[in-house]
Chain A
Amino acid sequence: MTNTWQDIKNANVVIVMGGNAAEAHPCGFKWVIEAKIENGAKLVVVDPRFTRTASVADYYAPIRPGTDIAFLSGVIRYLLENDKIQHEYVRSYTNASLIVKDGFGFEDGLFTGYNEETRSYDKTTWDYDIGEDGFARIDDTWQDPRCVINLLKKHVSRYTPEMVSRITGTPQDKFLHVCELIASTSAPDKAMTSLFALGWTQHSVGAQNIRNMAMVQLLLGNIGVAGGGMNALRGHSNIQGLTDVGLLSNQMPGYMNLPSDKETNFDVYMSTRGFKPLRPNQISYYQNTRKLFVSFMKALYGDAATQENNWAFDWLPKLDIPLYDIIKAFEMMNAGQMTGYICQGFNPLQAFPDRGKIRRGLSKLKFLVTMDPLDTETSRFWQDFGPQNPADSAKIQTEVFQLPVTCFAEENGSLVNSARWLQWHWKAAEGPGIARSDIWIMSGIFHRLRELYRKEGGAFPDPLLNVTWKYTDPLSPDPEELAKEMNGRALADLTDATTGAVTTAGTLLDGVAQLRDDGTSAAGCWSFAGCFTEKRNQMARRDATDPREQGIAPNWAWAWPANRRILYNRASADPAGKPWNPAKPIIAWNGTRWAGIDVPDYTPTLDPAKGASPFIMNDEGLGRLFARKLMAEGPFPEHYEPMESPVENVLHPKVKNNPAARVFADDRANFGNPKNFPYVATTYRLTEHFHFWTKHALINAILQPEEFVEVGEVLAKEKGIEQGGWVKVSSKRGEVVCKAYVTKRIKPLMVDGKHTHVIGVPLHWGFTGQARKGYGANTLTPSVGDANTQTPEFKAFLVNIEKTSAPVPA
């Protein structure tokens, strides 16, 4: 979230699209209700189904799964055509005026630089026109046709209300009514908040869905302000923390990227991470990257990371492909290239696409280690559970080590919530039986591996042998010690350049400003610096005082970065430093410094007259309507059909799907076509359950006991499906036999002149736990991910449905 849960109450319009906040985040949803009751907010829901969120909405519009970009590009067109943008904000705070390089273009569904063979782009032209002074050229008058705003206008001109409706199936009048509600927040003192979740990420164009709404929010002046923002509602306890500390194959803590194998030395690595300002007087925060990186390496390798060995750069793994995500991992398992798998806090047999492929992959492993508090399906993949998990155990040679671990309530630690708050929690009970903490198990594995390398050597033992491991109990580091390590310490006396204050060697850092690039500071995760200081564990604070009752309680827990609650909050004030909305100010320039209820996302004493723009993490200081080279499939979002789609791409038939999506050959062969699989399916959660965990709890199992799919009344009638009757839902990859919920909440959509039916597939049931056995939604889903993140396309694919009888138990 750019903002916080509590801040939702300040919104004038709440749009829930690409998520189902009431269903999946019922506790946080109280702030939406608060916005409605206390702030007179309107709640707008755009979703293929009439959801629990829609049940309390002021306005609902249906949409075909996987067509959000067409919808949102139509919204942008509407805003530009009807002059419903926050002009001063757009001119001063976005890259609307910047001029794009000659040679950049878009034709027939492709941006310039496409290579069909590699399914990727040469992005050279996706950038600003850089002048001789090294700065991006600009035209404040917006006359130059190559200004970002003019290129954007041209790009979205195709998304007329007629076209939007033709693609999305949203009736034109409903689309236009949503546009009106959104446009109402272009007034400087009005704000809209966008609440989204996996309804946007789980698409082959997931990241672009989100970018598209971010652009809408920039045009409306809704980023950085109270009641505004782009608010990703994280669906998994501490999934925010997972990304923060970089638990992805291509990441390091604090969103730093691992080097690629082309970055053969430290200088090459740093050469693309200098981030020199692209406009005069800009802050361009990532100029500090060297400090962040070196401090991380010092935390990892301690004394072994030195200036001489380039802070141990050579010991980092170098990626030969963009990332080793889970889809790739299972592809490799199936090809026999990955023979062992440690599966920590993860249940891929339920959670990842094409369950059949997952099961086949696991069956080819030499060993599988699972670490989980629950008896997961993945741990039992080899066991025959009847039609829901048919397995011939005798033929499976995988050795499975099932390690029970403690859960969050059985250990101290911190969880990072959607609002980036690190909240400390305390152990409430001992773990049951022989359960051990993840830390204990990982430490054990580490020590044994290191011992093997010590004794037997190996191809490249240095990265493991040199890791620093200075904990009181090396076999079980204390969560507080780990938290302090992430916060960081001074390794020598550090003197502040402006104040002259000295941080003594060995003490904990107060914040990221103390990081150095000369090896005198260490920080395991730079963005967490300040969470655990000499004063106290800041994450353990529980003071709910909210000075303006505006949803900002600065002494409750600790938010990254720098305890800042609202990102880009400099943009809540006009260029002179006066709040756009005087009723809900966040920070303001008082003549000498920035003051207010939040930590400024800006240099605290920087005079606004100096002209530094609010988006300090970007080299040009501006919010990007044009993403430069950062996205895989283009600097503007473009509508591409889901990989499995019932219709052609009416905008550019030759380029139907995301041209930059990575698709493995066997997965492509497993895509279905609309002839055999004529209906669009989408998967989702229900309030009664959390993923595949709570079916292990009796009360949750009672509240939602059995697998079902949701089918509209029209389709049910067509197919003779009865309310609560058995159906078989099939895709090219497998079939699910379960009950049908025949509902008015899903209506056929008129897409390009044809009725299109949507089938809803809740995902909670498996074959372990207390609820009734189910096949699992991922039996049906296609194995393809977003082109940038490889998040699987669970939200739009093709199926067929037939009436059937109950499955025969084995």
Chain B
Amino acid sequence: MSDLQSQDYVRRSASTMTPPKARSYEDQVAKLIDVSRCIGCKACQSACMEWNNLRQEVGHFEGSYQNPNDLSPDVWTLMRFAEYENEHGNLEWLIRKDGCMHCEDPGCLKACPSPGAIVQYANGIVDFISDKCIGCGYCVKGCPFDIPRISKTDHKSYKCTLCSDRVSVGLEPACVKACPTGAIMFGAKSDMKDWAQERIVDLKSRGFENAGLYDPQAVGGTHVMYVLHHADKPSLYSGLPDKPQISPVVEAWKGIIKPLAVAGVVLAALSGFFHWITAGPNEVTEEDEAEGERVLDEAEKTP
């Protein structure tokens, strides 16, 4: 979470208030991960842990170089390793840096019911504002890439910030800086797309006919993009979604159910009002008070 202010917002969760978009003249940024030059060294993971001061506990070996074993509230980026035997019987070791894709149309933000807990800045970065997070986990359901993780300690949701704090002061994300082979690039999204095209030409010349850019349009494009040797089969790369899309339930919640729900809330308020007009306020009985005290006491005793 950065110290950017609300004038940077272009989207804000659970809010009908239109963000001021004061900085919408800014370039949209993007991180380009060129899988074909990545050697899976985990310098990016290490840099992410350093910059964000996160230390997952020392885990176990579980049958892959992938460590820690999954994303977590303390692991915001992770190299995923897939062994793939291609149609010629040759092995390919497809290594992909996983983490938040920073969708242009973020499913997490759409799903989030807490006003302002998820925001998108003018530069395209999608950020979680922890103070406002209620830990409901809707963002997890809303994310087409299975990225956010809820902390068991403080019940808030965490993920890669695209180093919004660094980017806001003109620095590249920590992972980009650390990458020794230049497999992670950062800059204006348009520049990154141009560079990706050059890489794709090179990959095609080396026999990867289906090389291409992963910038899925179903989520409006992403601010983290991949150059893939097999852009026709993204799922080869440890389950990168072939056709990512925001869950229909979330779309429905935003599209149809939410207005209905709002109507429901209004209806309830109105009926309460009429109840008060017609029957007067509800009185609390002494039994109700005693029961309330007892429940509170019990809750305090439970650790």
Interface residues in chain A, defined as those with a beta carbon under 8 Å from any beta carbon in chain B: 22-23, 26-27, 29-30, 33, 36-37, 50, 52-56, 58, 60, 686-688, 698-708, 723-724, 738-745, 770-772
> Counting CB contacts under 8 A, is B45 at the interface?
yes
- Least CB distance from A158 to B in Å reads 30
Query: When chains A and B are docked, how far (Å) is the Cα of A61 from the Cα of B58?
Result: 35
Q: Are A702 and B59 in contact (CB under 8 A)?
A: yes
| Complex interface: chain A residues within 8 A of B85 (CB) | 744
Known: A27-B180, A745-B83. A687 touches B62 (CB 8 A): no
Chain A minimum-CB-distance residue to B68? A702
| Complex interface: chain A residues within 8 A of B181 (CB) | 22, 26, 29-30, 33
Query: When chains A and B are docked, how far (Å) is the Cα of A701 from the Cα of B36?
Result: 27
Query: When chains A and B are docked, how far (Å) is the Cα of A33 from the Cα of B185?
Result: 14
Q: Are B60 and A33 in contact (CB under 8 A)?
A: no
Contact with A along B9-43 (1 / 0, CB 8 A): 00000000000000000000000000011111111
Q: Are A26 and B58 in contact (CB under 8 A)?
A: no
Residues of chain B in range 44-78 having any CB-CB distance to chain A below 8 Å: 45-46, 49-50, 55-65, 67-68
| Complex interface: chain A residues within 8 A of B83 (CB) | 743-745
Q: Are B39 and A56 in contact (CB under 8 A)?
A: yes
> Counting CB contacts under 8 A, is B294 at the interface?
no
Interface size on B, residues (CB 8 A): 40
| Complex interface: chain B residues within 8 A of A23 (CB) | 39, 41
Chain A minimum-CB-distance residue to B91? A50
Q: Are A54 and B93 in contact (CB under 8 A)?
A: yes
Q: Are B93 and A741 in contact (CB under 8 A)?
A: no
Interface CB pairs A-B, < 8 A, 20 = A29-B39, A33-B37, A33-B181, A33-B183, A36-B37, A37-B199, A52-B93, A54-B93, A56-B36, A56-B39, A687-B42, A688-B67, A702-B49, A702-B59, A703-B45, A705-B60, A706-B60, A723-B63, A739-B63, A744-B91
Residues of chain B in range 97-115 having any CB-CB distance to chain A below 8 Å: none
**Neighbour of B39 across the interface among A36, A55, A706, A707, CB < 8 A:** A55
Query: When chains A and B are docked, how far (Å) is the Cα of A772 from the Cα of B41?
Result: 20
Query: When chains A and B are docked, how far (Å) is the Cα of A711 from the Cα of B296?
Result: 57
| Additional A-B contact list (13), CB under 8 Å, known A29-B39, A56-B36 | A26-B43, A33-B181, A52-B95, A56-B38, A687-B42, A702-B57, A705-B59, A739-B60, A739-B63, A741-B64, A741-B65, A744-B85, A745-B91
Q: Are B37 and A52 in contact (CB under 8 A)?
A: no
| Complex interface: chain B residues within 8 A of A703 (CB) | 42, 45-46, 67
| Complex interface: chain A residues within 8 A of B301 (CB) | none
Q: Are B60 and A687 in contact (CB under 8 A)?
A: no
Chain A minimum-CB-distance residue to B207? A58
Q: Are B180 and A708 in contact (CB under 8 A)?
A: no
Q: Are A745 and B64 in contact (CB under 8 A)?
A: no
> Counting CB contacts under 8 A, is B206 at the interface?
yes
> Counting CB contacts under 8 A, is B92 at the interface?
yes
- Least CB distance from A628 to B in Å reads 40
Interface residues of B, dominant DSSP: loop
**Neighbour of B180 across the interface among A29, A704, A724, A740, CB < 8 A:** A29
Q: Are A702 and B182 in contact (CB under 8 A)?
A: no
Q: Are A705 and B61 in contact (CB under 8 A)?
A: yes
Which among B49, B61, B92, B202 has the greatest number of chain A C-beta atoms within 10 A? B61
Chain B minimum-CB-distance residue to A50? B91
- Least CB distance from A762 to B in Å reads 10
Query: When chains A and B are docked, how far (Å) is the Cα of A50 from the Cα of B42?
Result: 18
Query: When chains A and B are docked, how far (Å) is the Cα of A744 from the Cα of B92?
Result: 10
| Complex interface: chain B residues within 8 A of A745 (CB) | 83, 91, 93
Query: When chains A and B are docked, how far (Å) is the Cα of A772 from the Cα of B59?
Result: 8
Known: A33-B181, A52-B39. A770 touches B58 (CB 8 A): yes
**Neighbour of B40 across the interface among A33, A687, A740, CB < 8 A:** A687
| Complex interface: chain A residues within 8 A of B63 (CB) | 723-724, 739-742
- Least CB distance from A157 to B in Å reads 32
| Complex interface: chain A residues within 8 A of B41 (CB) | 22-23, 26, 52, 687-688
Q: Are A707 and B92 in contact (CB under 8 A)?
A: no
Chain A minimum-CB-distance residue to B59? A705
Query: When chains A and B are docked, how far (Å) is the Cα of A605 from the Cα of B43?
Result: 48
Query: When chains A and B are docked, how far (Å) is the Cα of A700 from the Cα of B67?
Result: 10
Q: Are A772 and B91 in contact (CB under 8 A)?
A: no
**Neighbour of B67 across the interface among A55, A60, A704, A707, CB < 8 A:** A704
Chain A minimum-CB-distance residue to B57? A702
| Complex interface: chain B residues within 8 A of A708 (CB) | 61
- Least CB distance from A338 to B in Å reads 38
Q: Are A724 and B50 in contact (CB under 8 A)?
A: no
Q: Are B39 and A687 in contact (CB under 8 A)?
A: yes
| Complex interface: chain A residues within 8 A of B42 (CB) | 687-688, 703
Chain A minimum-CB-distance residue to B74? A702
Chain A minimum-CB-distance residue to B199? A37
